[in-house]
Amino acid sequence: MSKVGVIGAGSWGIALAKVLYTNGNQVSVWSIVESEIAMLKEKHEHVDKLPGVKLPEDMVFTTNLPEAINGMDYLILAVPSVFTRSTAKSMAPYVKAGQVIVCVAKGIEEATLMTLSEIVEQEIPAAEVAVMCGPSHAEEVGRGMPTTVVAGAKKRSIAEGVQDIFMNEVFRVYTSPDVLGMELGGSLKNVIALAAGMLDGLGYGDNTKAALITRGISEMSRLAMKMGAKAETLNGLTGIGDLIVTCESKHSRNRKAGMLMGQGYTMQQAMDEVKMVVEGVYSAKAAIALAKKYEVGMPIIEAVNKVLFENKSVKEAAAELMMRDKKSENSDLGWKE
């Protein structure tokens, strides 16, 4: 049994807390929001973000950050990506050497173009840092539906430790040393999922969605591999697997926000309607900045940025994508004549 502190009481943090508790770990959950912790203590359920998922009576809920950190073997960092740096700064004075911090949010910091694990390593150098991601909506994980994810770390022992505390008969965990590839896949797919939702909002069909997903993984892979990630990672659970579920699922907040924009909502109106952090909006500018830095063409992500930040209509952006210059699907393949 391990002692685990879950830092962040949103839907994903709560779903993972339940998995950890089910596996026999001692679990505490922290949130900075007092009303959220009061609700969890009273109801043992996050009635706003994960209704119907009941939590054990003896699970600990707290707003006291030192209490959530001190003596824990693992800290699951489950706050939205935009709060990763500020939360890590607050955690730093209490984290002891050797404690493992597992980043489970997905995003790239716009100002620095750093991944979340890089931010945590910078702010909390004493910690061992890992990541966990894959096709895994909280709504299904919380209800015990079979799910597979990947635990990544620079050290095999750290990744395998994360695998051990989470894995059970309905939550399968693989390991990987390609932390960069995992984080880029998990972040970039949110931007592609916004585009998928936009197409759904326009009423386009299966042909369109299949093309978007396929060309989307191509864009993600080009950038990630240029940055040093491995093709196998982008072709696995944290790349194409996560992309498929985020583009297709009714639970996807990125797809839902994109769908609303396809129906005519502004970006802000869509985010207000979703009522949760839409990670793709925050990763979109960072993604296009990385594309420019590494000189990689990413037309879908560029089109999403134009809709989000340049007031281009979704229909016009889609038409421009279709009418770009003629190309071969794979320029590495040669002709016999």
Residues with catalytic roles: 189
Scan for tokens 């889609």, then name that residue. 318
User: What angle separates helix 314-322 from helix 299-309, to the nearest 10 degrees?
Assistant: 160
Distance CA 22, CA 168 (A): 9
Distance CA 266, CA 309 (A): 10
Coil, helix or strand at residue 51: coil
* Contact in structure between 284 and 310 (CB atoms under 8 Å): no
Q: Which residues contact 246 (CB under 8 A, 6 or more apart)?
A: 135, 189, 190, 192, 193, 196, 252, 254, 255
Q: Which residues contact 234 (CB under 8 A, 6 or more apart)?
A: 181, 184, 185, 217, 220, 221, 224, 225, 240
